[in-house]
């Protein structure tokens, strides 16, 4: 279908362009900006006056809970959530059941997602079989099946020999390895940042050192193996400082942070709010400010939803017994805008953290920008509209988020995937 998106404020962080103009879409691609190409006849016109037209968002971590956890969420429900959130590309962590360590499984998942014809999925394969940290997965085969990188999700490898071999093997093919900095033993059994709040509430603490020790290990091993390392879900100022030190020493390492961790601190646990039980734990306000600042300056490369639907059975239990995680796909844009507002970040830079920057980390070239010829993955949103986050309004099957009841800016009006209008509100 030929679609004209007219009079919108087109922001394309990849080209650093921000102007009111028309966008012409045909055959699944952006065919022109500004004036219509010869013979273009719009079958549908979207009036985007007063709205922002941006590349569809790219989320570095969205758990769709398939296979294995369909009672918490299904591909269908979470894809609807992605469309409502303007998320057109998402990376899937390998901690499904079974884990994403089998090429056949990855093919099946990709096939199911394609059939649904919603967001593009980018599976992240398991670095080791079953995430057990013992045997390497068939990385080359997995990449052929569609994996874009390898990770351990939030299951650390205990044996550093295995970790080093995994990094070496991935580096053989120049595959990306995404690692979440979690020390295998330190902080085990903990469920909150080890600080005044945890002490006061009698929660077992996870010290910052659990993150930094893992980072020291990862960075050191990446240095000697030449692995392409991306660090996921940073939680502390000290962790960020280590990454910057490694960069200063000449290492090419990227990192991301979740929407929860740039907005919240351990204080937000309040009266044992199980929705604030997350991995990594929410840390101190000082850490949150450092992460927010780091993201603003691009020292943290991307912002992700870390979407983890957890059903009520998993949350309506005491804090320490609650399953960690929060729903996030539909909050990615509102919380990006809220963060930009609070940290004084220009809209262009804020959008870069959820479009062009994560595109680079996954290795997406066809999307994440609005150049003519690009895949027409587009989000049209109203930056000034506000909405209250409520269980009823969330399309995801996961209704649990620390932001329930809060009013946040940004409403997605239209989501286009490969030139098809998939969401219209």
Partner 1 sequence: MRNPQLNKHGELQHLLTLDGLPREIVTTILDTATPFAAVAEREVKKLPLMRGKSVFNLFFENSTRTRTTFEIAAKRLSADVVNLNINTSSAAKGESLLDTVDNLCAMHADMFVVRHAASGAPMLIAQHLQHTGRDDVRVINAGDGRHAHPTQGLLDMYTIRHFKHDFTNLTVAIVGDVLHSRVARSQIAALTTLGVPEVRVIGPRTLLPTEVEKLGVRVFHDMSEGLKGVDVVMMLRLQNERMNGALLPTPQEYYKIWGLTADKLTLAKPDAIVMHPGPMNRGVEIDSAVADGTQAVILPQVTFGIAVRMAVMSMLGSH
Distance between CA atoms of residues 309 and 322, nearest Å: 13
Please identify which of the residues 194, 266, 287, 306 carries the catalytic annotation. 306
Distance between CA atoms of residues 376 and 417, nearest Å: 6
Instruction: Give the shortest CB-325-to-partner 1 separation in angstroms.
Output: 18
Pick 199 or 365: Cβ nearer partner 1: 199
Pick 167 or 206: Cβ nearer partner 1: 206
Instruction: Give the shortest CB-187-to-partner 1 separation in angstroms.
Output: 11
Distance between CA atoms of residues 77 and 156, nearest Å: 29
**Does 271 interact with partner 1 (rule: CB under 8 A)?**
yes
Distance between CA atoms of residues 258 and 177, nearest Å: 18
Binding mask 187-216 for partner 1 (x = CB under 8 A): -------xxx-xxxxxxxx-x---------
**Does 402 interact with partner 1 (rule: CB under 8 A)?**
no
Instruction: Give the shortest CB-235-to-partner 1 separation in angstroms.
Output: 16
DSSP state of 307: B
Which residues 299-318 are close enough to bind partner 1 by CB under 8 A?
Answer: 313, 316-318
Which residues 231-270 are close enough to bind partner 1 by CB under 8 A?
Answer: 270
Pick 70 or 268: Cβ nearer partner 1: 268
Residue 353 CB coordination number (10 Å): 27
Pick 117 or 199: Cβ nearer partner 1: 199
Instruction: Kindly indicate which of the ranges 135-143, 271-279, 358-366, 376-384 contains the residues binding partner 1, using the contact rule CB under 8 A.
Output: 271-279
**Does 20 interact with partner 1 (rule: CB under 8 A)?**
no
Residue 410 CB coordination number (10 Å): 24
Distance set, CA 45 to CA 8, 30, 65, 83, 230 (Å): 12, 14, 36, 19, 40
Distance between CA atoms of residues 416 and 351, nearest Å: 17
> Tokens for 238?
């000290």
Q: Which of 47, 144, 297, 321 binds partner 1 (CB under 8 A)?
A: 321
Instruction: Give the shortest CB-71-to-partner 1 separation in angstroms.
Output: 14
Pick 7 or 401: Cβ nearer partner 1: 401
**Does 320 interact with partner 1 (rule: CB under 8 A)?**
yes
CB 42 within 8 A of CB 75: no
Distance set, CA 121 to CA 49, 60, 147, 246, 342 (Å): 31, 10, 10, 31, 31
Instruction: Give the shortest CB-326-to-partner 1 separation in angstroms.
Output: 17
Count of residues of this chain found to bind partner 1 when the rule CB under 8 A is applied: 23
Pick the closest to residue 42 from 5, 8, 86, 83 (CA basis). 5
CB under 8 Å to 310, separation ≥6 — which residues? 72, 322, 323, 324, 325, 326, 327, 398, 400
Instruction: Give the shortest CB-321-to-partner 1 separation in angstroms.
Output: 6
Q: Is 95 among the residues known to form the active site?
A: no
Residues marked active site are found at 306
- In the complex, the residues that contact partner 1 under the rule CB under 8 A are 194-196, 198-205, 207, 270-272, 274, 313, 316-321
């Amino acid at each position: 279908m030929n679609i004209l998106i007219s009079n919108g404020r087109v922001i394309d962080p990849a080209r650093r362009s921000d102007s009111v103009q028309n966008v012409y879409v045909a055959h699944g691609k952006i065919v022109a900006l500004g004036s219509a190409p010869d013979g273009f006849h719009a079958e549908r016109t979207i009036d985007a006056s007063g709205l922002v037209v941006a590349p569809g968002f790219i989320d570095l971590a969205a758990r769709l809970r398939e296979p294995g956890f369909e009672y918490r969420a299904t591909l269908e429900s979470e894809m609807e959530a992605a469309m409502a959130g303007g998320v057109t590309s998402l990376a899937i962590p390998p901690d499904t059941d079974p884990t994403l360590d089998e090429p056949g499984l990855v093919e099946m998942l990709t096939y199911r997602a394609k059939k649904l014809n919603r967001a593009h999925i980018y599976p992240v394969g398991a670095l080791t079989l079953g995430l057990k940290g013992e045997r390497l997965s068939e990385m080359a085969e997995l990449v052929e099946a569609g994996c874009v990188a390898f990770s351990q999700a939030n299951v650390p490898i205990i044996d550093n020999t295995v970790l080093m071999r995994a990094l070496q093997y991935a580096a053989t093919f120049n595959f990306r390895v995404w690692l979440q900095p979690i020390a295998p033993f330190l902080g085990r059994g903990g469920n909150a940042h080890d600080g005044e709040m945890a002490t006061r509430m009698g929660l077992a603490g996870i010290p910052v050192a659990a993150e930094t020790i893992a980072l020291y290990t990862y960075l050191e091993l990446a240095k000697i193996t030449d692995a392409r390392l991306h660090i996921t879900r940073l939680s502390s100022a000290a962790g960020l400082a280590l990454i910057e030190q490694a960069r200063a020493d000449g290492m090419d390492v990227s990192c991301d942070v979740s929407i929860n961790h740039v907005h919240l601190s351990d204080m937000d646990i309040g009266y044992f709010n199980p929705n604030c039980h997350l991995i990594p734990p929410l840390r101190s306000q000082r850490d949150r400010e450092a992460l927010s600042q780091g993201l603003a300056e691009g020292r943290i490369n991307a912002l992700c939803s870390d979407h983890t639907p957890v059903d009520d059975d998993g949350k309506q239990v005491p804090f320490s017994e609650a399953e960690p995680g929060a729903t996030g796909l539909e909050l990615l844009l509102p919380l990006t805008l809220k963060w930009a507002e609070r940290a004084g970040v220009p809209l262009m830079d804020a959008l870069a953290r959820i479009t062009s920057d994560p595109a680079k980390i996954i290795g997406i070239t066809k999307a994440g920008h609005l150049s003519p010829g690009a895949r027409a993955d587009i989000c049209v949103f109203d930056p000034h509209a506000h909405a209250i986050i409520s269980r009823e309004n969330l399309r995801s099957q996961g209704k649990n988020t620390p932001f329930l009841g809060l009013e946040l800016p940004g409403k997605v009006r239209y989501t286009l995937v490969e030139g098809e209008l998939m969401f219209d509100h």
